[in-house]
Amino acid sequence: MTTSAPAIRRHATLTPALKAVIGDLYALVRADLLDHPNYRLDVFLERLDRHAAEPGWAVVIAHGSDAAPVGYAYANSVGPGDRWWKRLNSPAPVRYTGKDAVAVKEIGVIPAWRGIGVSRHMHDALLADRGEPHATLMVNPVAGDGKVMRLYEGWGYEEIGVVQPSPDSPWLVCMGRPLRA
């Protein structure tokens, strides 16, 4: 591992090779959760296929100095009537739902590369060229004993509502923020 910023590569199409890279990274990132029905690798890969087919899908892969992948983040567009919003326990503010938003669906960094800003670097690279006015994401509020949610709050995200995306999923907090200051 190094403390320098990783190289970021952006992709807009999920090829079989890219899917394999993301799947391998996911297995390392979520190694302690892979026995949970919502976090199984096969379930994730099904979600990845579904998300990659949605409008505005893009992924960034972070690579260390040895060119090995160390993290991934992906997002797609969600419109005003998208199920992303409909599943919330209460209506989201219209500032988020009145126009398309970018939904960050996954951010993952392998353990050896955590704590040095790789997630933020990928997040910012993923959102840099987006045209939507707002970004949104969902987070497990107990992930990292709450540290992950606090990290997102530090990036400017605020709580919008809570949602359980599927019966096997934990309850998640939906958060949003303006895409540009």
Collapsing DSSP to helix, strand or coil, 48 comes out as: helix
Q: How high is the pLDDT of residue 161? A: 94
Q: What is the DSSP string of 134-173?
A: EEEEEE-TTGGGGHHHHHHHHTT-EEEEEE--STTSPPEE
Is residue 181 over pLDDT 70?
Answer: no
**pLDDT tens per residue, range 79-124:** 998 999 999 999 999 999 999 999 999 999 999 999 999 999 999 9
Q: How high is the pLDDT of residue 168? A: 82
| Residue 112: C-alpha distances to residues 6, 29, 30, 116 (Å) | 13, 10, 13, 10
Contacts of 154 (CB under 8 A, 6+ apart): none
Find the Cα–Cα–Cα–Cα dihedral 123, 128, 133, 139, rounded to 10°: 0
Domain ranges for the chain, please list them: 7-178
Of the candidates 177, 111, 103, 106, the one whose C-alpha atom is nearest the C-alpha of residue 144 is: 111
Q: Superfamily for 7-178?
A: Gcn5-related N-acetyltransferase (GNAT) (3.40.630.30)
Is residue 173 over pLDDT 90?
Answer: yes
Q: What is the mean pLDDT of residues 41-45?
A: 97
**pLDDT tens per residue, range 126-171:** 999 999 999 999 999 998 899 999 999 999 999 999 999 888 888 9
Is residue 7 over pLDDT 70?
Answer: yes
Pairing of strands 7-11, 58-63: antiparallel
Please report, rounded to a whole number, the percentage of residues in the chain having pLDDT higher than 90.
Answer: 86
